[in-house]
Amino acid sequence: MADNLKAAGTAVSPRRMLVPLALAQFICSFAGSNMNVMINDISKDLDTTVQGVQTAITLFLLVMAALMIPGSKWSDRVGRKRCFTVGLSVYGVGALLSAIAPGLGILILGNSLLEGFGSALLIPPVYILTTLIFTDLTSRARAFGRISGMGGIGAATGPLIGGLITTAISWRAAFLFQTAVIAVIVLLSRKLVDPLPPDRTRPFDTTGAVLSAVGMLLVVVVGILQAGDNRLLMGVLLGLGAAFLVWFFLHIRARERAGKEPLLSTGLFRNRTSNLGLVTQNIQWLLLLGISFVVSVFLQTVRGYNAVQTGLIFTAATVGILVSSLAAERLAGRRAQKTLILAGFVTTIVGIGLLIGLVTASDSILAFLPGLLLIGLGLGVMLTPSVNVVQSAFPEEQQGEISGLSRSVSNLGSSLGTAIAGTILVSDLASGNRSYALAMASLAVIGLIGLVAALWLPSNPVPQQA
């Protein structure tokens, strides 16, 4: 692989090529959480509701999840760098359109659809290129750690940076900030090299892409967000979504048996270690975005805080993620991945408990800080190990495919967190502390599921052979 890089005529070191890739993961994660502190401002400016903004946020995360695997496959056809560049361009257009949106419909078009679609194109190449550029397992694990850490930092700093920009200028300026970051990434990625040529003859499973996208759309957005309005409709839509996902699985299995390449290999789901790691990844991002949404909405609609005050409260979580992410590489050399994931879930669940107990008992702003700090520490320490567990469970020739599945599962978790916990909160905002406590308790229960999955992880997983 090193020879391929030299043949491409580049003198850029792998570390320098990692910078635009990590920054791309940062901005996509930032976009998933920064709107949380703008909910009141956007609702008033666009004459919509909290649930309307929640739908836009959830759709953005879901579009990423639904199109991540197709994006991974498409990158093999057109080339990883070209797919990355196109994704950046689409994302940038979406951010600009969001900044000038006159109503919720245009905001959904720009933020939810275009930014979501752009993210789905640019994120798979981030992980595939990292796999191809960093050829030894140690440097690859370190690179994945830095990218995952930047993703966690992006999600954690989203409320703070978004709150500062919204209060100082406008919520629209926050989207201009995203556009500026995209422009910087484009400049930094000019010398980025794709070690492998594109394979334009590789088939693309269009039917599989449609079935998986429709299934996730029905299950996550339409089904869960309708929970507070019409239970019968919710059941019907959830059933339809499940049926589409079963149809998707039967479709890809039929393609494999016919000797055709499916959108996603069913063999990826036969690895017990990877399956458990994917569960922990999904739940980690579910908790991170779910907690961010619930606390942000509660602070703005019930406690009456503005965007910058809400963002500043999240500084505790940001500090926690920064500290634990920076220490993750050193901790990985001393402790097993399973141990770090277990410790992360325990710490996060304790943090949620503090957020429930202290916040419902006191109106003080300080009541949020201990819980958010623990949550930041817990999530930061386990984001990287979970990625390493999943990626290391497969040989090199399957790294691109498992990368796409891994990112899709993580983003599905993000959308589920905003949808599930957010719906519980928004359905009864008038009750104040009660709806907040119920939403946070639901996240704690989901965290316990993640803890159980982590307990089943092997202490020393053995990579699957090709």
* 75-90: pLDDT as tens digits: 888 888 999 999 999 9
Structure tokens at 304: 């009456």
The CA-atom distances, in angstroms, between 66 and each of 49, 263, 283, 394 are 25, 12, 17, 22
* Same domain flag for 258 and 398: no
Whose structure tokens read 């890809």? 252
Residues 360, 244 share a domain: no
d(CA 227, CA 169): 36
Is there a domain that residue 429 lies in? Answer: yes
DSSP alpha helices (H): ranges in 258-314? Answer: 272-297, 307-313
- 200 falls within a domain: no
Backbone angles phi, psi at 3, to 5 degrees: -65, -40
d(CA 284, CA 377): 12
**CATH number reported for the structural domain that contains residue 140 in this entry:** 1.20.1250.20
Supply the pLDDT for residue 3. Answer: 46
In a domain, 460, yes or no: no
pTM of the model: 0.83
Same domain, 244 and 114: no
Residue 461 domain-assigned (yes or no): no
Q: Could you tell me if 376 and 411 lie in one domain?
A: yes
Cα 328 to Cα 385: distance, rounded to the nearest angstrom: 8
Residues contacting 213, CB < 8 A, separation 6+: 66, 67, 70
pLDDT in tens, 378-393: 998 888 888 888 877 8
- Domain extent, residue 372, equals 2-194+263-455
Does residue 465 lie within any of the structural domains? no
Q: Could you give the CA distance from residue 344 to residue 148 in angstroms, rounded to a whole number?
A: 15
10 occurs within a structural domain: yes
Tell whether 362 and 318 lie within a shared domain.
yes
Q: Based on the domain organization, do 74 and 129 belong to the same domain?
A: yes
CA angle 430, 376, 131 (to 5 degrees): 120
Quick check: is 462 in a domain?
no
Looking at the structure, do residues 247 and 378 belong to the same domain, yes or no?
A: no
Residues of the chain where predicted confidence (pLDDT) is lower than 70 = 1-12, 137, 141, 221-231, 329, 332-333, 396-397, 399-400, 427, 429-430, 461-466
- Burial tier of 240 (Cβ tally within 10 Å: 0-12, 13-18, 19+): middle
How far is it, in rounded angstroms, from Cα 133 to Cα 127?
10
User: Do 15 and 69 belong to one domain?
Assistant: yes
Q: What is the pLDDT of residue 231?
A: 66
Give Dmax (Cα) for the chain. Answer: 64
For residue 400, the model assigns a pLDDT of 66
Q: Residues 428, 434, 436, 442: what is their CA dihedral angle, to the nearest 10 degrees? A: -100
Looking at the fold, whether 251 and 268 belong to one and the same domain comes out as no
Closest Cα to residue 157, out of 261, 23, 348?
A: 23
Are 133 and 48 in the same domain?
yes
User: Do 123 and 253 reside in the same domain of the chain?
Assistant: no
Structural domain count of the chain: 2
Q: Identify whether the C-beta of residue 244 lies closer than 8 Å to the C-beta of residue 223.
A: no
Q: Which residue has the tokens 């649930």?
A: 51
Q: Torsions phi, psi of 29, nearest 5?
A: -70, -40
Decide if 175 is inside a domain: yes
* Residue that terminates a domain, selected from 236, 262, 288: 262
Query: Given this model, what pLDDT does residue 224 score?
Result: 59
Same domain, 214 and 314: no
